[in-house]
Amino acid sequence: MTVYYSEDHEWIEVEGDLGTVGITDYAQGQLGDITFVDLPQEGAKVAKGDSVAVVDSVKAASDVYTPVSGEVAEINEALADEPELVNSDAEVGGWLFRVTLSDPSELEELMDEAAYKKFVAGL
């Protein structure tokens, strides 16, 4: 099980061909209090870089881009009633959706935790 990070501040935890996607703790901190999360349809085919979800906060509405291509396998339904999970637990309980990877080689373009930490420190 490995976690990868994108420059758009998404994380993806991969187990087999299933990836769980969310926004990073750094991203939720920048957005402020999350008020609503718009998630993709289960079964939707998505391509790496597509805007597939929207996170609304008191400051802004921000697109979430899928870091990999594939098919949406599951969404985090708890967020409908508790969008604040993205604030309190961004990288575990505040996950957004799960995607069945169609091209695992896309993961090679993402960062590992150390590289992402360095990337954020440079912002």
Partner 1 sequence: MSGVNTAGWRPSMNSAEGGVSVPETQSGDHALMLEEPLIFELGCEGQTGVDFDAPAKAVSPALAKFRRKAAPAVPGLSEPEAVRHYTRLSRQNYGIDLGPFPLGSCTMKHNPRLNEKMARLPGFADVHPLQPQKTVEGALEVIEQLADWLITLTGMASVAMSPKAGAHGELCGLLCIRAALDARGETRDVVLVPESAHGTNPATAAFAGFKVETIPATPEGRVDLAALKAKLGPDVAGVMITNPNTCGLFEPEMKAIADAVHAAGGYVYCDGANFNAIVGRVRPGDLGVDAMHINLHKTFSTPHGGGGPGAGPVVLSEALAPYAPLPFVARGEDGHVHLVEEENRGEGHARAFGRMVAFHGQMGMFTRALAYILSHGADGLKQVAEDAVLNANYVLRSLEDVLQAPFGKSGPCMHEALFSDAGLPEGFTTLDIAKGLIDEGFHPMTVYFPLVVKGAMLIEPTETESKPGLDRFIASMRNLAQRAREEDASLHSAPHFAPRRRLDETRAARKPVLVWKADARA
Query: 60-119: which residues touch partner 1 (CB under 8 A)?
Result: 60, 83-84
Which span (8-16, 53-61, 66-74, 88-96) binds partner 1, by CB under 8 A? Answer: 53-61
Residue 45 is a binding residue for partner 1 (CB under 8 A): no
Among 17, 33, 112, 113, binds partner 1 (CB under 8 A): 33
- In Å, what is the CA distance from 22 to each residue of 19, 118? 10, 19
8 binds partner 1 (CB under 8 A): no
Among 56, 71, 74, 89, binds partner 1 (CB under 8 A): 56
Binding residue for partner 1, selected from 45, 59, 117, 118, defined by CB under 8 A: 59
Instruction: State the Cα–Cα distance between residues 72 and 106, nearest whole angstrom.
Output: 16
7 is an interface residue for partner 1 by CB under 8 A: no
Among 58, 108, 114, 121, binds partner 1 (CB under 8 A): 58
**Tokens 């990836």 found at:** 19
Burial 28-61 (b: 16+ CB within 10 A, else e): bebbeebeebbbbeeebebebeeebbebbbeeee
Q: What burial class does residue 76 get, using C-beta atoms within 10 Å of its C-beta: 0-12 exposed, 13-18 middle, 19+ buried?
A: buried
Q: Which residues bind partner 1 (CB under 8 A)?
A: 33, 35-36, 56, 58-60, 83-84
